[in-house]
Amino acid sequence: MSLRKLVQRSLSLDALRNMVPDIEALALYSMKSWGHGHVINTYREMKRFSFEVGILSNFGYIEPRLKDELKKNYWIVDTGYNSFPSSIPGTQYKKALLARKRIGKILSEIICERREKKLVGRDLLSCLLNWKGEKGEILSDDQIADNIIGVLFAAQDTTASVMTWIVKYLHNEPKLLESVKAEQKAIEKSNEGNLPLSWNQTRNMPITYKVVLESLRMASIISFPFREAVADVEYKGFLIPKGWKAMPLFRNIHHNPEFFPEPKKFNPSRFEVAPKPNTFMPFGSGVHSCPGNELAKLEILIMIHHLVTKFRWEVVGSQCGIQYDPFPLPLNGFQARYWKESTS
């Protein structure tokens, strides 16, 4: 079994079904400090939440001590990995390199404990530990750590960016926000206000789900992938020779009026009809599509459910502008004040 298939198996629908209560608990914990009217950087909060979900899907349960150390060093790497590469002590890049080494040691400790106790789970780490190649080979601790770190990083920025855009889009569309709120309130009422959400409920949020899809289209967080032509390709009179690198621009496709009429307009109802093949690729396409796309959609839906049923918010400062960190997100992380809704 390929490593890609291992990741897919750890994030299969069967695996995700059992994660709903845990993801919901993480969402509620992440929002505990939101309801007092002070200014919150929405992107930063969403990133913290998506990191916790990443830990859950990668490890299941880990000791709080190790989790805290992992989190502390992860943020150092996250801050410095995209900075100017310099080995000068004290620079962000150098700090990131040192933090990456510490993360490797933390993961080695977690891996050793799993091996010694022969703990078996459905998380990614368990899948990697149990992997055997065709000739009986197994993955080294370094290979496992590299794959864990890669998946952990891949999950954070993109999902957090999408959730931040959704909050902005809903704020800009009051009528749509009320429709989403009504849908989620109905689900809350059917639960008699009790937790947790069920898997079936997360699969039955048609209005909210279309908002997620339209947000993915509008924001186009993954603007382009890097690909290589495996054969000579002729496109619009141009020859792309075999072996050349190609960079398809998903954003151009998602904003093409031929595929999406009035592409600059936020209109979730356009997804009442499935898009034409190869015109909507927020998670990539084919064998290179993101294996974590169902997890991302699940955590987004759970977060929206509790956001709109428990909070109201207003923007602080300018609503205009986009920044890249490195993915597109509202300027300054969409700073807003959040208040808890009255339960009466």
Domains and CATH numbers, the chain: 3-60+121-340 (1.10.630.10)
DSSP state letter for 248: -
CB 167 within 8 A of CB 176: no
Mean residue pLDDT across the chain: 90
CB atoms within 10 A of CB 14: 8
pLDDT digits (tens, 9 = 90+) for 11-51: 889 889 999 999 999 999 999 989 888 899 999 999 999 99
Token digits of residue 179: 């429709």
Q: Which residues pair with 338 in a beta bridge?
A: 313
Query: Residue 77 in 3-state DSSP?
Result: helix
pLDDT digits (tens, 9 = 90+) for 189-248: 887 767 789 999 999 999 999 999 999 999 999 887 888 899 999 988 999 999 999 888
CB 284 within 8 A of CB 290: yes
Dist. CA 160–CA 177, nearest whole Å: 19
Token digits of residue 160: 């957090």
Q: What is the DSSP string of 212-239?
A: HHHHHHHH-SS----EE-SS-EEETTEE
Instruction: State the pLDDT confidence band at 8, using cuts at 50, 70 and 90.
Output: confident
Closest among 177, 259, 176, 184 to 217, alpha carbons compared: 259
Query: Residue 139 in 3-state DSSP?
Result: coil
Dist. CA 83–CA 339, nearest whole Å: 35
HSE value, Cβ hemisphere, 13 Å, CA-based, for 50: 29
Instruction: State the pLDDT confidence band at 343, using cuts at 50, 70 and 90.
Output: low
For the chain, percent of residues with pLDDT exceeding 70:
98
Cis peptide before 291 (omega within 30 of 0): no
CA angle 342, 202, 219 (to 5 degrees): 85
Dist. CA 74–CA 243, nearest whole Å: 35
pLDDT digits (tens, 9 = 90+) for 254-289: 999 999 999 999 999 999 999 999 899 998 877 778
Dist. CA 303–CA 40, nearest whole Å: 16
Report the binding-site residues: 290
Q: Residue type for 27, please?
A: A
CB atoms within 10 A of CB 169: 19
Query: Residue 25 in 3-state DSSP?
Result: helix
Q: Kindly provide the b/e burial profile for residues 93-102, where b requires at least 16 CB atoms within 10 angstroms of the residue's own CB.
A: bbbbbebbeb
pLDDT digits (tens, 9 = 90+) for 101-151: 999 999 999 998 888 877 677 788 988 888 887 788 888 888 888 888 888
pLDDT digits (tens, 9 = 90+) for 46-76: 999 999 999 999 998 888 999 999 999 998 9
pLDDT of residue 301: 98
CB 258 within 8 A of CB 241: no
Sole residue written with tokens 């490195």: 326
Q: Residue type for 213, please?
A: L
CB 166 within 8 A of CB 219: no
pLDDT of residue 193: 66
Closest among 235, 236, 215 to 303, alpha carbons compared: 215
Token digits of residue 70: 């992992």
pLDDT of residue 83: 86
φ/ψ of residue 13, rounded to 5: -60, -35
DSSP state letter for 137: -
Instruction: State the pLDDT confidence band at 1, using cuts at 50, 70 and 90.
Output: low
Q: Residue type for 330, please?
A: P
Q: In the structure, how many helices (H) and strands (E) does the chain have?
A: 13, 9
Report the binding-site residues for heme: 290
- Full-prediction pTM beyond 0.95? no
Sole residue written with tokens 């700073």: 335
Sole residue written with tokens 């990456």: 100
Q: Residue type for 45, please?
A: E
